[in-house]
Structure 1
């Protein structure tokens, strides 16, 4: 399966989710995973380098493909060698992001419960619509990241997607938990901390299970 983490806005936790999902596949499901860094900022590549130095290996294979033509031509060949492919794409509208959407089975669109993040979903929806002309089987799912523990922002963000024709809301929010950035900063997933944050692990497991192993809910 090919999962693309896609956004046209930075700062939504896209790369953190991408690396954690890739490692979840390796640790929990013993899958052979390809992580594609298709973001020009190269944060996933930096994470993999740090992880390799710390652990002596990453546990997954990483390739950096930041051009649309490279994504479009190389991933179809590479996917045959791996169980799952996770693409870290976006941060802005780019050729690599558009190419990733034409190849993915599922586009995961992380957003935070803030007005500017919600507004960007209309831009992503337009890219999804274009990609479906080439990739009609593409499913686009918005996931609330850095969700607030309480308040109306989360509910309002989900409601904003109710009438979106291209993107469905996936009710698997990821909370605003220090475990994600703190572990990413040292090349680890939330599963690998000395004292893992149980809630962070549970949330990530639930998201991964919905994306990779169970029929998708679009409610």
Structure 2
């Protein structure tokens, strides 16, 4: 059976006014408002809020649940009981939310490509096979970020996050292995200079992807409350 999955991506490129920030946070549960206020930099704070608004939207449009129903496993992964899964990632000017009603095992990671990155700094988190593939590719930095986002998305799908050593995640052409479990990875095209990967537990996969701006998200927020 194919997995029907929703991916929503929103821009995070302009700092909100204090009024817009405060009004937007009003629809979040108190514990999330407190968390949002702990971020020092505006882009991190807004990315956190936008991520929660994306989750709020997909939950309320596609299930009976809302943000107050979110729980956390022993590794800190947010989840909702039943066959519902969501994953959030942000980098640069984008925040993305991946959501599924048919599996509780999905993960997403987005990364903005840093042209100044020194790939030698990441040798220890790669397998020998991955290192060779990156070095032999026409664009090593692109290949590195493809590999990195697959690993990050895989850790999120597994549910143990950074407790899984990155160099123990074995990536092949269409799949990856974490310990003995096989996962499947898919690229998602956001825009130039970004890499985004989805990881799921099924080889049959369909995703409905939409890019929206923060005003669209805000309009939904006001209509839904």
Q: Specify the TM-score bucket, using the shorter chain as the normaliser.
A: 0.3 to 0.5
TM-score normalised by the chain length of structure 1: 0.33
TM-score normalised by the chain length of structure 2: 0.33
